[in-house]
Amino acid sequence: MKKIIFCFTSALISCSILLISCQKDIPNYVEFEAYEWSGTDPNGGTWKTILDIDPSTISIPSPQLSGTPEYRASLDDLAAKTNNLTSSQKQSIQYWTNNPTIRWNEIARSLAAKYNLAPAPNEQGQYPGPDPANPDQYPLFPFAHPPYACRAFAYLSASQFDALVVSWHHKSVHTQAEHADVDARINLAFPKSGYSPYPSDGAAVTATSLAILKAMFPLEHAYLDAKAAEMYQVLEWSGQNTQSDIAAGKLIGQDIAQRYLQRASSDGMRQAQTNRTVSDSIKNAAFQRFGWQWENLEAPQRPVGIAPKYGKVRTWFVPDVTQIRPGPPPAPGSAEFAEAVRELESVQKNLTNEQRKIANWWSDGLSSYTPPGHWNRLACDYIIGDRLNPLRTARVLAYMNTAIMDAGIACWDVKYYYHYPRPSQAVVGFKTILGIPNFPSYTSGHSTFSSAAAETLAHLFPQKGNEARAWAREAAESRIYAGIHFRFDSEVGIDQGKKVSEFVIARAQTDGAQ
Amino acid sequence: MFRNLIFFGLFWLACVKISAQTHLDEILMKKSQLCIAGIGTLDTWDRYWEGTLLRPNGNIGDLNRTTYNFMAAYGLSSRLNLLVNVPYLRTEATQGQLRGVSGFQDVSAFLKYQVIEKRGTAGKFSLLASGGFSTPMTNYLPDYAPLNLGLGSQELSARAIAHFITNDGWFARTTVGYLHRTFAEIERDYYYTDIDHYSAFVDVPDALHTNIMVGKWLIDEVFRTEIGYERLQTLDGHDIRRQDVGFPSNKMESSRIGLGVQYYPPSNTGFGFVAQYWQTFAGRNMGKSQIYMLGVTYQFFTQKTNI
């Protein structure tokens, strides 16, 4: 008996030790270290920008000439700032690294997740929507659903790319030696950049990111200002840039951001979320055409789906999404439809652990950074893996995110044109393992976003092409496992995403960077 | 999403009818004695606290959580007992399209030790300490609120139990416990609570558990009735945001009152029957549950000893 007691007690104690020792901090951001660029792209200033901006039309003052007292004074200032850093300053340097575009992307993902909550019904069972004019009144503005989030990512990334092309242009015009090479007192926290510190590319990216994200997330000004202020200081604490480098970078970033915000103000997003009358007429049009219509099945019912006119929002590279609109899905009652239903029922009945895991892994639903955010995270891993410089980093994110947004627009055009029911509407009593998104079924947004992202990444990282496409495939399958899409929603979505990516890749092939 | 804390207290009490000279303060099996039990529970709610806001949800309707507990208590010595519990659960929502789940939840084992037993003129006082460990038996998904079978974490618990019974059968018992929970693992490696988490691990907050019962033997050794109060409170965690779903790292609070009866047929067959009802009256990020419990216990009298 003593032996049993002893065994049990020791087992309990070992469990305790094991449990306590596994408790680690959960990271709140993706940890990576500053790295040396695999190349510096000295001709980057000649690349074509997304908005076709001529870099020479954005002027900045000439840098301080070496040897002048002003230049010496700014180096003294920088040297002082890089010495005797506090541990919190060192943490900031480590957090931002020498490639802040990656961190800004992560901040955008975080805000997308924070604001990705559907409005709650009020006491009367109605769903008042967010009001951009009163963002702090519940429901808070924005509701960062996938169309909203992917637009924010696209504007952010495209503007970062353009700001860096312009920065690279001015770096080649105003070439200066790196400060740490001129003054040995300056402690450079990162590997040498290999290009001129004037104008500061980190400041250009930060200024444009700040302005774009403030516009997209108007309740986050204080948070974003604090992030940007920290980043500007990191440029000095790390020994990369003097105040004059930073000021010039900010000018570029702010100028670029204004151009993007002007585009955003008239891209059709404001009209994308319609009222009930417009929504009903879109629904009726589909019913007249096809004899079916998707309905939201929540209780109380949400009378308007997410962004019925998002399909009309201005694209980046696809000239006309209706030109790549696929044919209709199988009519309910047809043999093809019955086959798709059989598959869904069989999957739900025999759901394996692996299928459940895939459904959850790609769920990217409410309170998450959405499927476009998921792809941004994967792209950042590829970027770090290939040690891309800031300009190449922004180029990857710009093309991938414009492709994703164009895919979203194309997909939403199809969704509301066909207005096709979800499996749970078409099959009475059908249960799912994920919540059902508030928009029509055909085609699958996950599949379309993911395919466009994967094809673009496959072009930019040829050696990763198979992996990226396999992930897109898995994301498309995940919706079938979850029970929220028919197979044809996913298959056609994959095709459509690929078609979208062709336009984006054609542009990438001719922007001067290849 | 909520562990079935009150069973343990109930079960200890249910298994104590051993011999004529003991009352329910003797919450221990004698050496080598064995008691087994099967207890079914229905935990049902139609409103829950989203943070501090009590609300219904048309996409859930009623949330029903049925649990079948299979338990055994064994006297390692007359002062030290071992208890094991295996719960099988089934969840369902009466509205909405989310699929309910079923399966084994967390197996638990407890050691319980009698520290003090003092008999005075008015009655008898005893103090006990228990330590337990529980771990998920299956790979159920904790990231599936409100239909998840459990929190998905392992738990180490320590409890102190003070008990007093008067000579004429009135009794009062207080249990205070600290529950340490480990990380749960979910099937995605990013989630947002009130901050980003780049991990598949979720920090399930530790909790305090208090249970107070007062009652009386109405027919000595045959029929007992009691009323009680119970509170569970995590020491950390975050609120469910507006129109978001629950998550294992939520701040969780619930306060309940309940009543129960126990019946041991006088024929001394070894069987006992228990029933309880609990009503939740305050909470946070949990359902406003009503709990119905029904169980059968069986006491083996294999090895009578006088230890």
Q: What distance in Å separates residue B51's CA from the closest CA in chain A? A: 14
Nearest to A171 by CA among A37, A38, A42: A42
Partners of B189 on chain A (C-beta within 8 Å) are 361
Q: Do B188 and A361 touch (CB under 8 A)?
A: yes
Q: What distance in Å separates residue B121's CA from the closest CA in chain A? A: 35
Mark out the alpha helices in chain B (DSSP H runs).
6-14
Count of Cβ atoms closer than 10 Å to residue A132 Cβ: 12
Dig out the tokens for A351 from the structure: 């759901």
Residue B25: pLDDT band with limits 50, 70, 90: very low
Q: Which residue has tokens 């006992």?
A: B272
* Residue B158 · residue B175 · CB < 8 Å: no
Distance CA A283, CA A306 (A): 13
What is the full per-residue pLDDT of chain A (514 aa) written as tens digits? 455 555 555 555 555 555 554 556 899 999 999 999 999 999 999 999 999 999 999 999 999 888 899 999 999 999 999 999 999 999 999 999 999 999 999 999 999 999 999 999 999 999 999 999 999 999 999 999 999 999 999 999 999 999 999 999 999 999 999 999 999 999 999 999 999 999 999 999 999 999 999 999 999 999 999 999 999 999 999 999 999 999 999 999 999 999 999 999 999 999 999 999 999 999 999 999 999 999 999 999 999 999 999 999 999 999 999 999 999 999 999 999 999 999 999 999 999 999 999 999 999 999 999 999 999 999 999 999 999 999 999 999 999 999 999 999 999 999 999 999 999 999 999 999 999 999 999 999 999 999 999 999 999 999 999 999 999 999 999 999 999 999 999 999 999 999 999 999 999 999 999 8
Q: Give the CA distances from residue B284 to residues A354, A464, B54, B255, B281, in Å, rounded to whole numbers and listed in that order.
A: 34, 47, 8, 9, 11
Q: Which of A26, A119, A432 sits opposite B97 (nearest CB)?
A: A432
Q: Which residues of A36-67 are buried (b: 16+ CB within 10 A; e: fewer)?
A: ebeebbeebbebebbeebebeebebeebbeee
Q: What is the mean pLDDT of residues B260-266?
A: 89
Q: Do A8 and B196 touch (CB under 8 A)?
A: no
Q: Which of B133, B141, B196 sits opposite A12 (nearest CB)?
A: B133
Q: Do B97 and A431 touch (CB under 8 A)?
A: yes
**pTM, 2 dp:** 0.94
| C-alpha of A462 from chain center | 21
Distance CA A221, CA B129 (A): 53
Residue of A nearest to B108 (CA): A12
Angle of helix A445-460 relative to helix A465-482, nearest 10 degrees? Answer: 170
Q: Is the bond leading into B205 cis (omega within 30 degrees of zero)? A: no
Q: Give the CA distances from residue A84 to residues A21, A79, A87, A190, B250, in Å, rounded to whole numbers and listed in that order.
A: 35, 10, 9, 16, 41
Partners of A433 on chain B (C-beta within 8 Å) are 98-99, 144
Strand partners, B48: B55, B287
Q: Do A118 and B243 touch (CB under 8 A)?
A: yes
Distance CA A150, CA A370 (A): 8
Amino acid identity, position A152: A
Q: Do B186 and A424 touch (CB under 8 A)?
A: no
Partners of A121 on chain B (C-beta within 8 Å) are 58
Partners of B196 on chain A (C-beta within 8 Å) are 28-29, 106, 109-110, 113
| C-alpha of A174 from chain center | 33
Q: What distance in Å separates residue A51's CA from the closest CA in chain B? A: 32
Strand partners, B135: B107
Distance CA A487, CA B27 (A): 59
Q: What distance in Å separates residue B133's CA from the closest CA in chain A? A: 7
Q: Which residues of A385-400 are buried (b: 16+ CB within 10 A; e: fewer)?
A: ebebbbbbbbbbbbbb
Q: Which of A30, A117, A436 sits opposite B97 (nearest CB)?
A: A436
Q: Do A28 and B197 touch (CB under 8 A)?
A: yes
Q: Do B97 and A119 touch (CB under 8 A)?
A: no
Q: Do B99 and A4 touch (CB under 8 A)?
A: no
pLDDT tens by residue, A404-448: 999 999 999 999 999 999 999 999 999 999 999 999 999 999 999
Q: Which residue has tokens 């792809």?
A: A375
* Residue A255 · residue A170 · CB < 8 Å: no
Cite the beta strand spans of A63-170 per DSSP E: none
DSSP-derived 3-state class of residue A263: helix
Interface probe, candidates B46, B196, B240, B249, chain A, greatest A C-beta count within 10 A: B196
For residue B101, the 8-state DSSP code is: -
Q: Kindly give the pairing relationship between strand B63-75 and strand B106-119.
A: unpaired
Q: Do B156 and A15 touch (CB under 8 A)?
A: yes
Supply φ then ψ for residue B81, to 5 degrees. -120, 155
Q: Do B196 and A298 touch (CB under 8 A)?
A: no
Count of Cβ atoms closer than 10 Å to residue B214 Cβ: 13
Q: Do A431 and B131 touch (CB under 8 A)?
A: no
pLDDT tens by residue, B111-141: 999 999 999 999 999 999 999 999 999 999 9
Distance CA A396, CA A53 (A): 18
Q: Do A26 and B190 touch (CB under 8 A)?
A: no
ipTM of the complex: 0.94
Strand partners, B130: B112, B159
Q: Which of A22, A297, A431 sits opposite B99 (nearest CB)?
A: A431
**Per-residue 3-state assignment (H helix, E strand, C coil) for A347-396:** HHHCCCHHHHHHHHHCCCCCCCCHHHHHHHHHHHHHHHHCCCCHHHHHHH
Q: Do B244 and A9 touch (CB under 8 A)?
A: no
Dig out the tokens for A481 from the structure: 């496992």
Q: Is the bond leading into A61 cis (omega within 30 degrees of zero)? A: no
Q: Do A110 and B192 touch (CB under 8 A)?
A: yes
Q: Which of A5, A19, A298 sits opposite B58 (nearest CB)?
A: A298
List, in order, residues 6 or more apart from B130 with CB less than 8 Å away: B110, B111, B112, B113, B157, B158, B159, B161, B177
| CA max distance for chain B | 62
Q: What distance in Å separates residue A174's CA from the closest CA in chain B? A: 40
Q: Do B96 and A299 touch (CB under 8 A)?
A: yes
- The pLDDT assigned to A197 comes to 98
- The pLDDT assigned to B267 comes to 81
Partners of B241 on chain A (C-beta within 8 Å) are 117, 367
- The pLDDT assigned to B11 comes to 43
